[in-house]
Amino acid sequence: MVLGLLFTTSSYSDSDCSSCASEAWDGYRDAKKAYRSSDLNDCQYYAKKAYRHLSYAESYASDCNCSEAESEAYDGYRDARRAYNSSDLDSCQYYARKAKRHASWTEDYANGCD
């Protein structure tokens, strides 16, 4: 029974990339909130949430062998992190907008990697 449990958990694969698409959508939502924020603290707060989701999306894309989604998720993660680390609102919004675009492309690619 233990051997069966080990085999089952080790053979799990998210072959349809749905987890990646879900995290990408969450990253898109939070990057959009960061982009639309009217003060730096809110922008950084949502950018941090976006980069966490896009980091997860990158990992899930790797798990389901969707290289296009993985690459876009990485780019989105990078830009969301730049938004979070920005010292002024304009820069935060600029990078959040870029992260939002990459998150959208990540979701599109993940949905196409069936």
The domains of the chain, with CATH numbers, are 25-112 (1.20.120)
Residue 9: CB atoms within 10 A of its CB come to 8
CA distance linking residue 39 with residue 29, whole number of Å: 17
What local confidence, expressed as pLDDT, does residue 47 receive?
A: 98
Q: Do 43 and 92 contact (CB within 8 A), yes or no?
A: yes
The token pair that represents 35 in the structure block: 């982009």
Quote the tokens at residue 12: 């799990």
Q: What is the pLDDT of residue 60?
A: 96
Give pLDDT tens digits for 73-84.
999 999 999 999
What's the whole-model pTM score? 0.85
Q: What does the pLDDT profile of the chain (114 residues) look like in tens digits? A: 444 433 333 333 445 799 999 999 999 999 999 999 999 999 999 999 999 999 999 999 999 999 999 999 999 999 999 999 999 999 999 999 999 999 999 999 999 986
How many of the other CB atoms lie within 10 Å of CB of 8?
Answer: 9
pLDDT of residue 45: 98
